[in-house]
Amino acid sequence: MLYATAWKFLQRQLGLPGRTRGGLIFGHHFQDTLHVLLAGTSGLPWWYKHDEERGVLDIDARFTLGWSEAVGEVLQGHADWCGNWLIHSDEQLAEAERDAAWFRRGLKLGLFDDRHILMVVGFEEGLFWVRAYLLGAPNEPFEVEVVFEEGGVERTLRQIADLISTKEE
């Protein structure tokens, strides 16, 4: 489940010029569903090695931990880093093999498993679309369905509060 707060951020990222880019996503698991509540960048370029170009899936552990702690605190421990997002340089969704190559790179970095996903964002036939992958067998990406929650920020926050109270009961 991709909440409006996250997909609106990702949609804005499509309008930015540039190369292939990516960032972090935050949410929580409830039953068999991952609720992606927020998306953000991976931090500032100068936080990474100056002698190399920053890899799209590189993350600064301090930045990710800080985000995770802040989101977790605000949402009473019911959200944490749950994966990464990626936008191809042409901003298009194309063959799944291109996504699979990125997934395998992230797998080698320890980013993805059966609970941490890769979300690939882009246009498909002129429409905003998202594909999501988690670890399948044998060490290959498994595409999962993405459902868009279309409420505004206030509605999303109410839904999060409801989920938190449901989990506490």
Q: How many CB atoms lie within 10 A of CB 158?
A: 12
**What pLDDT tens digit does each residue of the chain (169 aa) get?**
999 889 999 999 988 877 788 999 999 988 889 999 999 987 665 555 554 555 778 777 777 888 888 887 877 777 889 999 999 988 888 788 999 999 999 999 999 999 999 999 999 888 999 999 999 988 899 999 999 987 655 666 676 677 667 666 5
Four-residue CA torsion sign, 43, 124, 112, 157: positive
Any long-range contacts for 66-74 (C-beta under 8 Å, 24+ apart)?
67/24, 67/26, 67/40, 68/26, 71/26, 71/37, 71/38
Per-residue confidence (pLDDT) for residue 47, from 0 to 100: 58
* pTM of the predicted model as reported, rounded to 2 decimal places: 0.82
Structure tokens given for 160: 């999060």
